[in-house]
Structure 1
Amino acid sequence: RAAASHTGSIAGMDAAYDAAFKQTRVLRFSRIDEMFDAARAFATQPLPEDGGAAIVTNAGGTGVLLADACELNRVPLARFSTSTIKELEKILPPHASFRNPLDVIGDTDAERYTTALKIVLRDPSVNAVIANMLPTALLDVEEAAEACTRAKALLIEAESWRVVPAENIIAAAAGKCEVYAEARDLRDALSLLSALEKGVDAVVLTAKSAEELRETLRQLKSYAEGFLKLEEAEVVRVQEAGLGDRACVDTALLLSQGEGMLVGSKASLLFLVHSETLENPFIEPRPFRVNAGAVHSYILSSLRGTSYLSELRSGSSVLAVSWRGRARRAVVGRVKIEKRPMLLVEAEASGEAGTVLLQDAETVCLVSPGGEAVSVRELEEGSKVLVHKPGAKARHAGMAVDEFVLEK
C-alpha cells in the first residue's frame, strides 16, 4: 500500500523496464550508494571509444566465459575485419577460432600469442583487448604480456603470478603505454604501486563493497608520497636536559643528505632531524638511520598523522622528508631505545614556538634552510633550522582534531 501511494507504483512489470534499460544502455543499480559511486566513477573516467573489446585467449573455455561476462556487463565485442581474419589465418592452425573471442589454441607459444595479439590490436574496430593467458609449458606469460605494450593501456589481472612479472611488464612498457593492475587488497595494491619504484599507473581494486573500497582508499592515502611545506625557524634556546631515553629509527631505506624525519615535543611544530648519512671521524655513516630524539616526541608517520617515537616498532611506517619538502614512506626495520645525555632545542617560526629533545652528540643534526646538516653541538641562539607546522595543535591517536589543547 505504501508503494501504491508513491512514485514507486510506476514500477509495473520489472522485466519490461529492464529490457528498456538494456536497449537504451541505462545502467541500473539496486542501492543508492552504488548509484553515487558509479556517478563519481563516470565523472572522472574517459568515455570509451567507438568499437568493442577483443578477447585473445589460449583456452577456449575461459574465452567463452569472458564473452559471457562482457555480455552480462554490457561490454560490446568487436567484429574483426576481413583483413584481420586473413592475417590471423596465416599464423594460427586451421582448427583455431578466427572470430571474437579469438582462441589461439592451448599449444601456442609466446611468439604465436604475441603475433596474434599485435594483429588484433591493429584492427580499427578494437578499442580494448582482454588478454587471457593460462600458463603452460610452452607459453612464457611475461613475454606474451610485453606484447600488450603496443596498446594505449594494459590491464594485468592474474591469480598466481603478480609482483615480479608486474615489474618485468612495467620495465617493458616504460614510455610506451600505461599499465594498470588488479589488486585484491591493500597489501596487493601497495606492492603493485611501488614495483620498480615507479609502480603501475593505477590499480583496479576488486572490493566487495563500497565501504571496503572507501576504507582501502583511505589507507592508501596514508602511504602516499607528497610534499610538505618546510619553513625557516630561529633557535632561541639550547640547554642541557640531563639523561633521557632516546630512539634511533632504523629504516629499510637508504636516506640521502638533506633528508631526515620530522620530530618535535609539540604537535604544532616539528623539527627536521637529519639522517646519519654524513662522513665523520667518530663513527661509520648509517644512512638508514635517524637519531630521532626522546621517546615522548611526535614523529610524522604519514602526510596527515603522527606517532610517538615510543610506539614505533619493526614494520611501522614513518615519513622520510627531504630539505625541499619531498616526503616518502619509510618502513621501520628496528627502533633502538637507549639512555643518553640530551639537549633541549627551542625555536620559533612565524610566531609559533616549539621544542625538541635530542641526544647531545656531534653526529645528531638538524637541517639548515640550505639543506646542510647542522650538529646540535654547534647550535646557538640565532641559528636557523628547518621546521614543519602541520597546522593542527591538537592530536588524538595521531590524527588532527579540532579542539583546544595547550602543549608547553
Structure 2
Amino acid sequence: MKLSWIDIRSVGSAKAAVVEEAIHARVDGILTDDPADLAGLPPTVRKVLFPQGQTLPEDFGAADVVIVEAAKHGEPAELALRHPEVEFGRYVEIIDADTLEDACQSARTDRWSLLWFRDPTKIPLEIVIAAGAKAEGSLVTLAQDVEEAEIIFGVLELGSDGVLMAPAGVGDATALRRAAEAGVADVELVELEVTATAHVGMGDRACVDTATYFREDEGILVGSTSKGMILCVSETHPLPYMPTRPFRVNAGAIHSYTLGQNERTNYLSELKAGIKITAVDIHGRTRLVTVGRVKIESRPLISIDAVGPGGRTANLILQDDWHVRVLGPGGKVLNSTELKPGDKVLGYLPVEDRHVGYPINEFCLEK
C-alpha cells in the first residue's frame, strides 16, 4: 500500500471539509505548517508538520513527523536526538545535479524524504528511488494532481513510497487514496480438474495485447462466469509456426470475464487501449497491466469445463487450436485442444456475485 498525504496549507475556507473527507477516506497523512491544525486529528492519520520558510517551533504539538529544511532548521538526525518523541524528515527541492544528489543521500539515510521535482521529467525520481531502494526510509513525492500521483506511484515499477498533494477541493483526497491503493490484491488459485471438453463451432475470440511483457508463469484469469476462471498463459513460450509474443494472451471468447482493477471484472469484448487488467502468476501474485490493443476475430472455439474444491465449477471457451494454452500446477503449459478429463489446471473461484462487474452480496445464478 502506497502512502497518501494531503497538504492543507493552501485549501483556505475548505480546510475543515477537506480534513473531514481525508479522515473518512483514511488518507495516511495530513501535512500543515500550523501545529494547531493537527490538534484533535484521530490516531488513524499521521500528523505531519512542515514549517517551510519559518523558524522551527519550540512546541511541535501533536505532530508525529516534522519535515525540515536542513539549511534553515538543522539536520534531521541531529534534531531526532534532541526530540525523540517525533520523527524527522528532510525536504529537498530537486532543480539540478547537486540537489538530485542531496535527494539521493536523503533517500539513503533519512527516515522521511519529502521531494519536489521542479521539472516534469520523472528520470530524477527514478534515480532517487534506485538510490534508496535498500534503505528503510520512505520517499514522499509532491504531485500537482491525482493523474500525476498515479504516475509517481508507478515510476521504476517500485514507485515512490508516497505522494503529497494539495487538494483543489473536496473529492481530491478520496481520489488520491484510491490512486494509492490502485494495485490489486493477490488471489488464491486452486487446482481444477477438467471434466469435459467440447468443440462448439465458430465464434469471436479476443487476443489481449498489453503494454507489458508477461513472465513465463504468468497470464490472465478468464472464465465464462465471474465465479469460475482459468489461468490463460501468455504467448511467452515458443511455438513452431510463429514468433513468441510475450505481451499477448489469446484469452477466450468475447463474452468471457477477466479481472480488471478496483475488484471489478471486465468482459473481454469491452477491453480497449488504456484499460488496466490484472496479470496473475501461478502463485496468485498479481499486478496491473495496461491493455494496448484487443484483436477480436472469428475462430473455431473449444469449451473446457472443470471442477474445483467443494464441487464448484468453471468454464472457459477458447480458440480451438493447440497453440492456445492454459497453465497447470507448477506452471505446466497445457495445450487447450489436448486437455482431457482428469487433467489439472489452475483457476480462481471467487465467491462474490457481480453487478456491472463489481462484487456484490446478492443472489445471481450463472450457468
User: The TM-score by the shorter chain falls in which range?
Assistant: 0.7 to 0.9
- 1-structure distance, mates of 2:226, 2:112: 43
Equivalent residue in structure 2 for 1:182, among 124, 132, 142: 142
1:273-319 Cα distance to aligned partner (Å, 9 max, x none): 11111112122111111000111111111261111111111111111
Determine the structure 1 residue equivalent to 2:265. 306
Determine the structure 1 residue equivalent to 2:43. 43
Determine the structure 2 residue equivalent to 1:63. none
Q: For the Cα contact (< 8 Å) 1:53–1:128, is it kept in 2?
A: no
2:147 is paired with a residue whose SS is helix
Amino acid at match of 2:159: G
1:343 aligns with 2:320: no
- 2-structure distance, mates of 1:266, 1:381: 20
1:286 is paired with a residue whose SS is coil
Q: So what's the TM-score if we normalise by structure 2?
A: 0.78
- Is there any run of 5+ residues in structure 2 with no aligned partner, and where? 1-13, 30-41, 64-68
Determine the structure 2 residue equivalent to 1:240. 199
Determine the structure 1 residue equivalent to 2:128. 169
Distance 1:224 1:101, change over 3 A: closer
1:256 aligns with 2:215: yes
- 2-structure distance, mates of 1:120, 1:302: 39
Equivalent residue in structure 2 for 1:366, among 326, 337, 346: 326
1:273 aligns with 2:232: yes
1:231-257 Cα distance to aligned partner (Å, 9 max, x none): 111111101011111110011111111
Distance 1:133 1:367, change over 3 A: closer
Q: RCO higher in 1 or 2 (8 Å CA, sep ≥ 6)?
A: 2
Distance 1:345 1:133, change over 3 A: closer
Determine the structure 1 residue equivalent to 2:283. 324
Amino acid at match of 2:104: E
Determine the structure 2 residue equivalent to 1:67. 54
- 2-structure distance, mates of 1:375, 1:130: 55
Amino acid at match of 1:226: A
Q: For the Cα contact (< 8 Å) 2:231–2:327, is it kept in 1?
A: yes
Equivalent residue in structure 2 for 1:34, among 13, 19, 22: 19
- 2-structure distance, mates of 1:169, 1:70: 30
Amino acid at match of 2:99: V
- 2-structure distance, mates of 1:199, 1:365: 33
Q: So what's the TM-score if we normalise by structure 1?
A: 0.71
1:213 aligns with 2:154: no
How big is the shift at 1:30? 7.3
Amino acid at match of 1:332: V
Amino acid at match of 2:100: E
Equivalent residue in structure 2 for 1:379, among 329, 339, 343: 339
Q: For the Cα contact (< 8 Å) 2:70–2:76, is it kept in 1?
A: no
- Is there any run of 5+ residues in structure 1 with no aligned partner, and where? 1-28, 56-65, 77-99, 104-115
Amino acid at match of 2:124: P
Amino acid at match of 1:371: G
How big is the shift at 1:400? 1.6
- 1-structure distance, mates of 2:283, 2:211: 21
1:238 is paired with a residue whose SS is strand
Amino acid at match of 2:54: A
Determine the structure 1 residue equivalent to 2:246. 287
- 2-structure distance, mates of 1:35, 1:320: 36
- 2-structure distance, mates of 1:134, 1:164: 12
Q: For the Cα contact (< 8 Å) 2:207–2:250, is it kept in 1?
A: yes
Query: Quick check: which one's helix share is greater?
Result: 1
Q: For the Cα contact (< 8 Å) 1:53–1:75, is it kept in 2?
A: no
Amino acid at match of 1:271: I
What is the aligned residue count? 327
Equivalent residue in structure 2 for 1:397, among 350, 356, 364: 356
Superposition CA RMSD, Å: 3.3
How big is the shift at 1:334? 0.9
- Which protein has the larger Cα radius of gyration, Structure 1 or Structure 2? 1
Determine the structure 1 residue equivalent to 2:100. 142
Q: For the Cα contact (< 8 Å) 2:21–2:174, is it kept in 1?
A: no
How big is the shift at 1:35? 4.9
